[in-house]
Structure 1
Amino acid sequence: MAEADWDSVTYIRKKQPKSGALRTQQALNSAQRQGIPIETEKKYAGGQNKQHSTSKNTAKLDRETEELHHQTVGLEVSKLIQQARQAKGFTQKELATKINEKQQIINEYEAGKAIPNNQIMSKLERTLGVRLRGKDKGQPIGGPKK
């Protein structure tokens, strides 16, 4: 056997401290003395409960505050929903159950307070068999397309 194998020495270096341990000034000074690389980074609003960017939707917010209200279902559409529901003999609760929504949503649509949602409008159109959007509002929906 060669003697070099027995004479070689392996030095095991001490593990670098975790990032949490490097937060104190004493730990930073110690790391600098040992020659451990230190990386510092200034974080925006660090330690505060703030979102990434507050200016994301400023244009949208400006438009909404100028208008001061959301567009709701028109009085014409709310009357159409109410008349079609009554013609079919449904209560608000029965209609809501048929389209898998809450009764409160049907109530808001009929009162003209709801913000229109295309999914809900299409469910109402199919269930009631009446068009609620477009040029031909109030017209019965034709049969299946050929």
Structure 2
Amino acid sequence: MAGVGPISQDWEPVVIRKKAPNAAAKKDEKAVNAARRAGAEIETVKKSTAGTNRAASSSTTLNTRKLDEETENLHHERVPTELKKAIMQARLEKKLTQAQLAQIINEKPQIIQEYESGKAIPNQQIIGKLERALGAKLRGKK
């Protein structure tokens, strides 16, 4: 390894410059102004959606028309009345509060309240936990 000297670092500052933004737009503007001074007739057209993030209006009208034509009533299935009553009856037979039952099945008390009021969307896992905790069959025919 003869002839290899000590490695040194180059501490010279490196300056990196970016071009000014809209350099092309300024050139176009200069050309238009020069043509105006020369007396040439200039027609400029501004695009209505230029520089915006808006999608083309035709695609939004298609989607809104599809939504307007939609007649199907979509909603989530709720807890049936029989299940609400069965949960409440089994809980009262065991002399449990909603909070105590929720603690037994390791869920929030709000979930028990939603099931008993019929606002919850039925979850088979939670119903299974309720059946085991209450010792009663809540699903299917009695």
* TM-score, structure 2 as length reference: 0.50
Measure the CA separation in 1 of the matches of 2:113 and 2:121: 12
Question: Helix, strand or coil: the match of 1:67?
Answer: coil
- Any gaps of 5 or more consecutive residues in structure 2? 1-17, 24-52, 55-62
Measure the CA separation in 1 of the matches of 2:133 and 2:116: 15
Structure with max Cα Rg: 2
Q: Is the counterpart of residue 101 in structure 1 residue 100 in structure 2? A: no
Kindly report which structure 2 residues correspond to 1:1-146, keeping only aligned pairs within 5 A, or say none. 66-134=72-140, 136-137=141-142
Question: Helix, strand or coil: the match of 2:136?
Answer: coil
Q: How big is the shift at 1:68?
A: 3.9
Measure the CA separation in 2 of the matches of 1:67 and 1:127: 36
Q: How big is the shift at 1:112?
A: 1.2
User: Which amino acid is the alignment partner of residue 93 of structure 1?
Assistant: A
Measure the CA separation in 2 of the matches of 1:127 and 1:67: 36
Q: How big is the shift at 1:69?
A: 2.4
User: Which amino acid is the alignment partner of residue 128 of structure 1?
Assistant: L
Between the two proteins, the alignment pairs up a number of residues equal to: 95
Measure the CA separation in 2 of the matches of 1:76 and 1:67: 24
Name the Cα RMSD after superposition: 3.8
- Any gaps of 5 or more consecutive residues in structure 1? 1-20, 27-46, 49-54, 138-146
Instruction: Give deviations 1:18-61, integer Å, cap 9, x for gaps.
Output: xxx79x677xxxxxxxxxxxxxxxxxxxx79xxxxxx9xx9xxx
